[in-house]
A = this chain, B = another copy of it.
Amino acid sequence: MQLEKIAVVGASGYSGEELIRLLQNHAGVELACVTSRQHAGKALGAIFPKFKGRKYDALAFAPSEVATVAASGARIVFLALPHGLAAEFAGPLLDAGLRVIDLSADFRLKDTVVYKEFYGQDHPAPALLPKSVYGLPEIYRKEIAVAKLVASPGCYPTSIILPLAPLLKAGLIDPKSIVVSSMSGVSGAGRKVEADYLFVECNESVRPYGVPKHRHLSEIEQELGAAAGSAVTISFTPHLIPVNRGILTTIYATPAAGATPQAVADAITQAYRGEPFVRLGGGESYPDIKNVAYTNFIDIAWRHDPRTGRLILMSAIDNLIKGASGQAVQGMNLMCGLPETAGL
């Protein structure tokens, strides 16, 4: 069987590294090209000791150029680049006939005004936005399968949209009541060499940041709004916690009038019946980062609080896998007609 050829552009950050880790264990595709400005010409195993002795040990980083990627024979290309830069690569790659899975924020927002509001610059490639599909397979499975351009969701958004979307779609919660508190491992910041992310500054530390208007709010509210059928505005506070990987999200919402706890449970359960990567917790379990680390699962649990009337939803993902590279591979599987769980 001819394996689908794949490229990864910008493979030196944590998402790119995790993509390669997943692809080296994926029997259904061939990693034909990895690029990095910084490491061009060096072998993967020489830059990442963890890849020594593995399948792609000797694969050399190519320079991050469209022509090189196109020449590699890759049919699908992952962009693991900073936002802004990703948009510069996407157009030419699409023009060259490749399908693109972008892990940055560049193609997640449909509204260029919102993009400018949250990212502080004009959108670099607005003409491509109508083509892009938000890469959350549990919601856009069919669209992803045939997409030319997939915008892989952010880590926080994945942990927030999946628990809430079925409830908003069913009109079971008041969209104005949503309050979200999330805790992320430090790899969520990427491999940024800044004092804030030094070991001594993060270990034995917990801190909120990005209050009250973290960039991810834009895509969260877009997708929650799509589920609700009307605009949704929420409160969201991210926190940095001393773990390498993982996001734990706790969501508070007031049920809509007449929405019973049973109706809530039913809506979530039906929405995710048969989903290979969504695990729903029974009455007594709690999501825990350690149970999803190194997997593509999202664990979701919930409780109704009769004292306040509020619903509390909790979720856990590995931010580098279901929150980034694993979800992107899940999308790639759909695009290739492979089993959705292949390599995951």
Contacts and interface: CB of A to CB of B under 8 A. Distances in A.
Interface of A: 14, 49-50, 52-53, 179, 181, 183, 185-187, 191, 193-195, 197-209, 211-213, 233-235, 237, 239, 241-246, 248, 250, 252, 276-277, 279, 285-295, 297, 299, 303-305, 307-308, 310, 312, 314, 316
Interface centre among A14, A244, A277, A290 (most CB of B within 10 A): A290
Contacts of A53: 276-277, 279, 297
Nearest to A307: B233
Contact of A244 (B183, B204, B291): B204
Nearest to A290: B205
A149 to B, nearest CB: 29
When all copies of this chain in the complex are counted, the total is 4
A199 B184 CA distance: 13
A203 B235 contact: no
B305 A235 contact: yes
Contact of A286 (B202, B211, B314): B211
A286 B207 CA distance: 7
Nearest to A210: B286
A212 B293 contact: no
A206 B312 CA distance: 17
A204 B201 CA distance: 14
A23 B239 CA distance: 32
A126 to B, nearest CB: 24
Given A212-B303, A308-B234, A244 B207 contact: no
A117 B195 CA distance: 31
A209 B303 CA distance: 11
A264 B4 CA distance: 44
Pick the 9 closest A-B CB pairs, nearest first. A212-B305, A181-B181, A199-B202, A207-B288, A205-B290, A206-B248, A186-B199, A50-B291, A49-B291
B195 A191 contact: yes
Nearest to A209: B286
A194 B307 CA distance: 30
Contacts of A244: 199-200, 203-204
